[in-house]
Amino acid sequence: MALIGFSSGSTRTPRGTLRRFFSGAAKVAAAVAAFAIALAAAQEPATGGDIAAGRAIAIAGVAQGRAACAACHMPDGAGQPEVGIPRLAGLTATYILDQLTFFAEGSRANPAMQPFAKMLTSEQRRQVAAYFGSLPVPAESDLASHRASVLKTGKRLFQDGDFQTGLLGCANCHGPGGQGVGNFVPRLAGQSTAYVAEQLNGWKTGGLRDPDGAFMRAEASHLSDGDIAAVAAFVESLPDTKVARR
């Protein structure tokens, strides 16, 4: 079977044809992403949740004897990069609400997150999402160090993809600086190597992760273990343009 479905008697696709096809596909994806970025900038819907109420839930929780969101994701939404707990600050409220809903409804599996999401009513999920979505990205601290060669490989894959394997550049959707596209695609810049690698490995092994995961599962299938490590390292190295001042 040809990699991108060219119909011919041969199982091999001429390199020049494949390069032109891949280049064209990347340009289309970039144009779509640019349109989505402009659309998101013009109108980024909010969840309508009460931020103050969401903060109270995130800090104190809703059930006695059970840890609150901030116990793992931290009050400032910084997460815990060293153990792969994702940063929530910088993500949009709508994206966070979608993930909480997936956890609560069982369409995204996670043994830690599902019980917490199920404890919340739909209104409480909206409030928590509004709180974390309102937070600026915390100042960077103690980022993991990576070899220059790994970061170079990660940058190439993130920005340009790999026409030989059919991988589209991550930047086509997530933006050249990993800033994300409003509620369309999540912000990646500065997210921890451990968390990004965990998500990519889950998609690579065939998991959907959530109802919106089909595209990422297809993309991750083109990545080797080394590619995943390199892309995750590069993502963590990206500076965030909305970092809070110390």
Q: Does domain 29-43+143-237 have CATH number 3.90.25.10?
A: no
Q: What is the CATH number of domain 51-133?
A: 1.10.760.10
Position 201 scores a pLDDT of 98
Name the least confident of 7-11, 25-29, 171-175: 7-11
Question: Could you tell me the residue ranges of all domains in the chain?
Answer: 29-43+143-237, 51-133
Measured CA to CA, the distance from residue 72 to residue 92 in angstroms comes to 19
**CB contact at 8 A, 191 and 231:** no
Give the pLDDT confidence of 43-53 residue by residue, as tens digits.
445 677 999 99
Name the least confident of 9-13, 57-61, 112-116, 118-122: 9-13
The average pLDDT across 67-92 equals: 96
**CB contact at 8 A, 126 and 234:** no
Judged against a pLDDT cut of 50, whether residue 95 lies above it is answered with yes
Position 183 scores a pLDDT of 79
